[in-house]
Chain A
């Protein structure tokens, strides 16, 4: 039973966050504070989860996934209500009717820093709930409802085109130079976030453009998933504009960028320094894995990333722990904070990347490793016989 129930954690957290968001003031920090306490504190105390349970009632797990969209929408609109100076969508009256608390009086007490806390909370949920569940659902290319819900979830972070680039780009190109979403050796998280954001959008654009061209349609037209995705994001912007005018637009812009950063930070820690020969089958050793129990529960096993990339067709409940893969030393939020301090990140991760070179890399990847090391200034952890590379002409001695 617990194996099903535990995945309600995020839904319960979010439902509570919707309620507390309407209380205004410091309560707007609830989701963010809970996220930090659970994802950073508890995660490092609780330890690993190496179980690979079998699920028969997978509909429960689907309910959990699909409930993310209404919950995140409610949380976001509640925050927009806090920003507005009127009863946006009648949410205040509805809340008063249901909870018997006067949110208007509470809202009048809000200070600017309460809104900063609100942004911290909502943006974190854009990342944790929006992009993560959006990722899980947009993988289901065979299911229209899943794709639509997934893309609306991704649109919170202005990233509905993720559904194109991630499946048809990232999963094909992972750990190669062609992948915008694979962080390279020596790269810091800030430069990476920018490169990946721009590169991924451009890649999605090109993939969609090529697809539409096969039918004689333009990527600028209404059939374009790029245009439809942009329209989804504009809808959210419009809601905030309706609620709170230009201030609303500005706040949603901050939220969408901040939420998107979570996705890029996660990309950074999942793929740092990995190398693969273009066209070779993707193996578990080509991504950083994480078996921290709390990270796994909150992120619906996104943490089991080694298996996810090796078998992208599996739903999250079939992902295995794969304890013998390249392993992150801590949970996801801890890794992100590590990444935000590049000297610390390098100190902890470069030895692990070198360990990967020695224990996981295959012979055909050594040349790529040398190239990546040369570009990053990282030392090689192995020696290739110089002869093999004399004047760029390999030799068979």
Chain B
């Protein structure tokens, strides 16, 4: 009896293992999984923290938790059967193993670095988009979908943000490629027009952003407008390289046929893609009497036309804020959880786009 009592091990605290990131955390007190993660500096996706939004949804693989809310408000019947829980409403009662693909291990995050380079190519892709290719002095690493801050030493100090426009296939790159949209009167545009030529010195700071493909089996819905093509193209090239077996529907919004570009690249991806791949340009201002056979109107109309198929999609979008805002609303109304809607707004990338007047 006494021996048994003496042998009793000291009380241990539950431990959380987060896969696939491979993060291990000790739970303090009666904290939830989300609280534990956030307090220990792990970027666990969340929004409302009261079990209302589903952003912290994850799969309980092993262990027991106490749940603080009726999760049937948030999770589908299948998800509940498969053992999904809400991170913000789950207090570990034992060691737990959870699957949370959106949690990134710190070691995975590539440190941001500055790299110099020279312009290696300037190519017009359509009437207002230029492909800027830069030969770098040193390598950069990024995930397809992320972006770089580009500046021109001595000429343009204020960096512009551009998404990498090609997949790196997991390798460090000594070449970077961007799509630059020309704007009459824009400082960068003027410089590209008047001064820039191959050999000009530029500087990159990368990688930035959390826009990249998350692992899943769900079908993919891509939406882009203008030079928003760049990160989507990179994402899809990377996925094609990894031989992803997921259906893709890609709506590309433009005004007229003259705004379309990268069509050959899309054909290349489609030829390589293992599942269904549909690239669908949608024109909003194409003259009614033109030879255009494709879709017309706004991308949002055609997103909602997906109907019941919409709810299953995982969404990747990049483009002008008005278009994205509208598309996000349509996707949410279609039943897509906000945690499955990933976007990169042009506005996000530059923190210098507005002036305060007061």
Contact = CB atoms under 8 A, between A and B. Distances in A.
Interface string B55-79: 1000000000011111011101100
B83 interface: no
Main secondary structure of the interface of B (DSSP, over half): mixed
Nearest to A165: B52
Given A168-B74, A391-B255, A366 B354 contact: yes
B28 to A, nearest CB: 15
Contact of A279 (B255, B341, B351): B341
Interface in A362-397: 363-364, 366-368, 371, 381-385, 387-397
Given A168-B74, A313-B32, A282 B48 contact: yes
A172 B345 CA distance: 21
Nearest to B88: A313
Contacts, number: 161
Nearest to A207: B73
Given A141-B69, A279-B338, A397-B186, A167 B323 contact: no
A348 interface: no
A391 B345 CA distance: 16
A391 B254 CA distance: 11
Contacts of B325: 367-368, 371
Interface in B307-344: 319-323, 325, 328-329, 332, 338-339, 341
B48 to A, nearest CB: 4
A378 to B, nearest CB: 14
Given A394-B226, A396-B180, A396-B181, A364 B348 contact: yes
Contacts of A395: 181, 183, 186, 226, 320, 346
A9 interface: no
8 tightest Cβ-Cβ pairs between the two chains A and B: A397-B186, A394-B320, A279-B338, A312-B50, A142-B68, A141-B69, A172-B52, A172-B53
8 contacts: A168-B51, A279-B339, A354-B358, A364-B347, A367-B325, A383-B357, A394-B319, A396-B350
Interface of B: 32, 35, 46-53, 55, 66-70, 72-74, 76-77, 80, 88-89, 160-162, 180-181, 183, 185-189, 225-227, 255, 319-323, 325, 328-329, 332, 338-339, 341, 345-351, 353-358
Interface of A: 139, 141-142, 164, 167-172, 174, 177-178, 207, 211, 214-215, 278-282, 310-313, 354, 358, 363-364, 366-368, 371, 381-385, 387-397
